[in-house]
């Protein structure tokens, strides 16, 4: 199999590339496209010498670049996107243009050459819906356009609409994966990701800053489990034209997460609560719970997360200790 991964030097993309190259005994060839705006060459440095791996630096919105890359591939994993609440708040134009224009360019190329494509979407699409756990066909409930946070949710929803439209109108093999909070080694706290931010501060015995009340809850899934789901969905003939939640149903509040990380690192850090406006420099709306219903993906490919939150945090903590 010849696979193209857009955003493949990013956190999830690099783990996917690594897994596919590892499976290269079966003939997998992997091309990664990344503009390195949030991805890093360090994430894929272990792959650069592999004969079945190729890295191309460039923007997914460049139609002259993306076309030939899609043509020489058999499947496309479209993971390139603006990520992180802080980046979204600071650069809303970049978020909208990257997510929508990038997905449009990749879909056009995939359709031209008849390539199966998996589009990485986000649980942010559910917005302020309170019907927990979220099912893929639940309503989307977004906030006011005056809050830039919802531009990300809206852009990913448009990505989904585009992908499903290409499937319906042209019969293109499009799969939508709605990622919930994915964590693991190589994730950076630079763009507001909570787990690496907490771990780094705890290891330095610095105050762990909790945004908001800390009573909001999330479900964190190990990146290795997410990669397994993505690969298995791509291999599933019946998956095309459908949306799948990909995440863990193990729920924890953000304050409990801070307590757990402080305990696991043996840290002397204290918790501090910071309101959203101070944290992001502007008002940010948040949702209290975000929990996936995994029935659809379980029925389709028999997938569910194998790695507990405690195990995942242990791996992340050790990875940061090695880089400190």
Active-site option among 126, 152, 211, 280: 152
Residue 97 · residue 73 · CB < 8 Å: no
**Residue 282 carries which DSSP code?**
S
How many Å apart are CA 140 and CA 82, to the nearest integer? 20
Residues 6+ apart with CB under 8 A from 174: 107, 110, 116, 117, 118, 119, 163, 164, 166, 167, 240, 241
How many Å apart are CA 13 and CA 6, to the nearest integer? 8
DSSP string for 201-228: HHHTT--EEEETTS--EEE-EEHHHHHH
Residue 179 · residue 243 · CB < 8 Å: no
Give the CB-side neighbour count of residue 59, counting CA atoms within 13 A: 12
Instruction: Please confirm, yes or no, whether 152 is among the known catalytic residues.
Output: yes
How many Å apart are CA 15 and CA 111, to the nearest integer? 26
How many Å apart are CA 206 and CA 203, to the nearest integer? 8
Write out the catalytic residue numbers. Answer: 152
């Amino acid at each position: 199999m010849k696979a193209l991964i857009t955003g493949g030097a990013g956190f999830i993309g690099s783990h996917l590339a690594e897994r596919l190259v590892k499976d290269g005994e079966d003939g997998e060839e992997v091309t990664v496209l990344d503009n390195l705006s949030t991805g890093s060459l360090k994430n894929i440095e272990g792959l650069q010498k592999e004969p079945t791996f190729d890295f191309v630096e460039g923007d997914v919105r460049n139609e002259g670049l993306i076309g030939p890359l899609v043509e020489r591939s058999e499947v496309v994993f479209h993971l390139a996107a603006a990520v992180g609440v802080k980046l979204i708040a600071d650069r809303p134009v970049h978020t909208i243009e990257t997510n929508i224009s990038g997905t449009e360019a990749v879909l056009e190329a995939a359709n031209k050459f008849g390539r199966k494509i998996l589009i990485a979407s986000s649980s942010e699409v559910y917005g302020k819906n309170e019907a927990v756990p979220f099912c893929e066909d639940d309503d989307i409930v977004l906030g006011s356009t005056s809050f830039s946070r919802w531009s990300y949710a809206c852009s990913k929803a448009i990505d989904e609409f585009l992908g499903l439209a290409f499937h319906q109108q042209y019969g293109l093999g499009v799969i939508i994966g709605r990622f919930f909070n994915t964590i693991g080694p190589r994730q950076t706290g630079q763009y507001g990701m909570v787990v690496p931010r907490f771990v780094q501060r705890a290891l330095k015995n610095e105050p762990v800053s909790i945004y908001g009340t800390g009573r909001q809850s999330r479900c964190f899934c190990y990146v290795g489990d997410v990669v397994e789901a993505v690969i298995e969905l791509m291999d599933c003939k019946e998956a095309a034209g459908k949306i799948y939640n990909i995440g863990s149903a193990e729920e924890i509040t953000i304050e409990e997460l801070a307590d757990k990380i402080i305990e696991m690192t043996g840290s002397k850090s204290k918790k501090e609560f910071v309101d959203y406006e101070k944290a992001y420099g502007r008002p940010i709306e948040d949702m209290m719970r975000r929990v996936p219903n995994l029935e659809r993906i379980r029925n389709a490919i028999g997938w569910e997360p194998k790695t507990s939150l405690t195990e995942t945090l242990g791996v992340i903590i050790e990875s940061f200790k090695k880089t400190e």
